A and B are shown apart, each in its own frame.
Chain A
Amino acid sequence: MNDTIHMEQAVEIVCIVCPNGCRILCKPSGDGASFSGYRCKRGIEYATAELTRPMRSLTTSVKTVFPDSPVVSVRTDGEIEKSRIREVAFALGRIMIDRRLKTGDVVAENICNTGVNVICTSDRLVHPY
């Protein structure tokens, strides 16, 4: 993992960690970067990741065999590299769920070798609310 920051000019990064949406100004500084405008340390972590290896969680839906819920919502249970979002979303498009999974059940293990699992995020297959 190469986490060294190489930057030539200042960039503004909008932190997506929490609803504050801090606008973090990142300036080249020595071998790395200096940060301002963040309201907590998660902002520095996010900005550092954005400048090295941007990570995202993915939420999408997966087809099922059940007519009452033709799709069910899922998400990655951790973050994956931003550059692999489309690849993972495409892989999930080929999955068909044939069991009545509940919230938190694993839909796909270690999806596309990203090291994270994809989990079901709704009880709509098991609960007749």
Chain B
Amino acid sequence: MIETLTFDVTVVGAGPAGLAAALEADAQGAKTLLIEREARLGGILKQCIHDGFGLVRFGEKLSGPEYAERFMEQLPKSKVTVFTLSFVSKIEREDGVNILTLVTRDGIRLIRTRSLVLATGCRERTSRQIGVHGRHCAGVFTAGTAQYYTNILGKLPTKRCVILGSGDIGLIMARRLTLEGAKVVGVFEAKPTPSGLTRNISQCLWDFDIPLHTSKTVTRVFGEARMSAVEIASVDDCMCPVAGTEEIIPCDALILSVGLIPENELAESIGVPIDPKTKGALVDERNETLVSGVFACGNALHVNDLVDYVSESGETAGKHAAHPLPIQRNLVPVECDASLLYVVPQRLNQNTEDTERVFFFRSSADLDNATLTVTRNGQTLFSKKYAHLRPPEMERLSVHLKSDQLAGAEPVCFHLEGSRNE
């Protein structure tokens, strides 16, 4: 007989989003379960030992583990049930109730839960997803794997490496590996502009004299058992390597920081519609997906650059998962044109008492003196000016929108205008 447990709210994933969601659902009085597949809570923050976490939320520069512990410390004082070393292998829906099959150390368990919060984080793009060709030799690591080796296992994965991609984890690892005695030959970015935060380029690369080469990519990998070199080439406007620009760089590792993709295997298994722009679930401002009773938050929803916003997103999901709407939702679509990479949430509730709606968006180009306008039926609902907008830097925006401003089915449209900063 398989044991069945019943909860009001079940949160999958105990990283920063899941921790915040579970604590908030509990604070709202819901009987809450938090499920984590690893032995320790904290998710990716466990290995993010650099500081800068919590500036928005706590006004302090904390390391990743310290930030996670601020939430973990509250768990013993809460009524949240925590299962570690537990893996959700299947979700089924039965009359609007979610039934989870959970693989634990004690065997299989079934969880019946009214609300489900997916806080499953994101995954790194791998070499096979960006078309790096050549030998299948050892030495290709994602930046997160190199970070795990260095910061958790205490093993240096390289003595001399090339970093491909200028995402934040790649920049952080350039500094980290340098501090541990490795030689970072350079950071290579196929795009004409770096994808990490400006402050990380400054404090991780310039502080350590690590060069950044834009419009260049890795075209081949050499080596038998272990990598011996990579081939770098310049790319043209279409991101295609230019013949004759190839250069061989001896190294024992290629570290990839080429983007993160929300993890949505569980969400897709129960038919949660995904936004092709964010690659996370489509949600309303309560972080409820288009499948009622299923919520998404954190990097599973869209890839964030600040953990503080991940926690906020978890709290939003946890709060509303604890108080499901008693009525059918009437949702208005939120759309953005090509001037934005994306906007979250992608739906707004017409019938809700809250008038404050929090949006997260990214511009699609570097803009100076930009103006964001939010319109509906050709009428401006809201506008805001920004001195600078950069695609790597996500913006948080709080707008008061009353229900009567959202009557009807027409979409709410986001648009940016500004001078392009080349």
> What residues of chain A have their CB less than 8 Å away from a CB belonging to chain B?
13-16, 18-19, 21, 23, 56-61, 63, 69-71, 73, 75, 82, 85-86, 89, 93, 103, 121-124, 129
Contacts and interface: CB of A to CB of B under 8 A. Distances in A.
B65 A121 contact: yes
27 contacts: A14-B201, A14-B202, A16-B202, A16-B203, A18-B55, A19-B306, A19-B393, A21-B202, A23-B198, A56-B207, A57-B61, A58-B179, A60-B180, A61-B150, A71-B151, A75-B63, A82-B207, A85-B207, A86-B179, A93-B180, A93-B181, A121-B63, A122-B46, A122-B65, A124-B40, A124-B46, A129-B40
Contacts of B154: 61, 63, 70-71
B312 interface: no
B84 interface: yes
Interface in B57-74: 61-63, 65-66, 69, 72
Contacts of A56: 203, 207
Interface of B: 39-42, 46, 49-52, 55-56, 61-63, 65-66, 69, 72, 84, 150-154, 176, 179-181, 197-199, 201-203, 207, 305-306, 388, 393
B56 A19 contact: yes
Given A16-B199, A23-B198, A129 B41 contact: yes
The 10 closest A-B pairs by CB, nearest first: A71-B154, A73-B49, A122-B65, A21-B199, A70-B154, A14-B202, A121-B63, A21-B198, A16-B199, A129-B40
Nearest to A50: B202
Contacts of A123: 65, 69
Contacts of A82: 207
Contact of A73 (B41, B55, B151, B181): B151
B179 A60 contact: yes
A124 B199 CA distance: 29
A122 B66 contact: yes
A57 to B, nearest CB: 6
Given A19-B56, A129-B84, A59 B305 contact: no
Contacts of B207: 56, 82, 85
A59 B51 contact: yes
Contacts of B176: 60
B199 A61 contact: no
A60 B65 CA distance: 12
Given A71-B151, A124-B65, A129 B39 contact: yes
Given A63-B154, A86-B179, A15 B199 contact: yes
A32 to B, nearest CB: 22
B385 to A, nearest CB: 13
Contacts of B84: 129
Contacts of B305: 19
B43 to A, nearest CB: 12
Contacts of A93: 180-181
Contacts of A61: 49, 150-151, 154
